[in-house]
A and B are shown apart, each in its own frame.
Chain A
């Protein structure tokens, strides 16, 4: 148990440091959601519904967590493959899931920079103040959304292990997740058939928890669901990873060469 926790923590720190190395990549990770946040602020400011901008700022801030994760986590295994370390990781006595999970969690943790940057951007340039009515559930909501998005990234990394173009599949998921998890658009506005999809996505509940923590309301149920779905993604990903790796070993297709 202690060895597993140490491995996860060490892997998370290592990959977080590696991901923080490229100033260009870090700059884009922060800047990209700011473009969308800026457009959204203008759209809501001039919209006829006079919607409060606080929830929009929060939604725009959380968008960055998914942006930071979707491409990086999806292509995590392809990156190892390109560096020639995938076979070594698979052959290691440690469960590959314990190596891959911290990679995905490190990518979603990078998203914390985006949250801070977007909230500062909203405050300084647009004068949008985000109150925090209940700091504890708010903080847990932020942690929960980073965890559940990281776990979802882990599941995507596993699912696309057989693809050389996993990054493109990760990239195409960026807008749909922003849309159906209710970051900027209330889920009630979406078609009925979309709603069940948003319910099985952890970020939906994380976003609800953060809103409740910031503006009042009960957040505990949403926080619990957010973490529970994150754990479910990890469990499912672990199961899938074993099968994928077995199949790749049997067919000698791990390196995809």
Chain B
């Protein structure tokens, strides 16, 4: 039986021969990094819309995916969450451990009691029993209606936004950017875990007919919190 090391040597050896046999001599990591920095990039790296237009685009794109989207002021968030939960007709929710406590307090007028299961490493079948999930997010990309999760404490482990059928995501307006490159710009360093969500799960595998919700939540609700000054000027 061949030792594992030899496959590695073989493959790397072939690659080096292929790249360096002809033109350029073997690049070091530093040389490669230098060349990389010099690559021309003429594509759009920033959007041109106003803050308000960008937010509206984000909402429009989400609605195109049949997501339910509402806006609210920061002080209204708790009540808005409660209203959304109420309207869902569901009772058992899972939430990430870092979700602000104020988000989970039932409103005075509320009819139902909600059962909150905070995800302190819950086993999968318990999460499976939850009917819905509420989280925050890292960023929203307006161009494609994408919600980006880095799975921090307010966003939760990946499984909790996957198993329940109903997902409520709170997006602060200040988290919304217009273009995908702007999201990458916001990452001080690359995250270890990312989930980019652009609509409910879907398939078009049967006769190109788009069906929602194969696996993963079929219902996506978004609350956009107007947490910044709504200027009409172009963003800086």
Physical interaction between A and B: no
A→B interface (CB under 8 Å): none
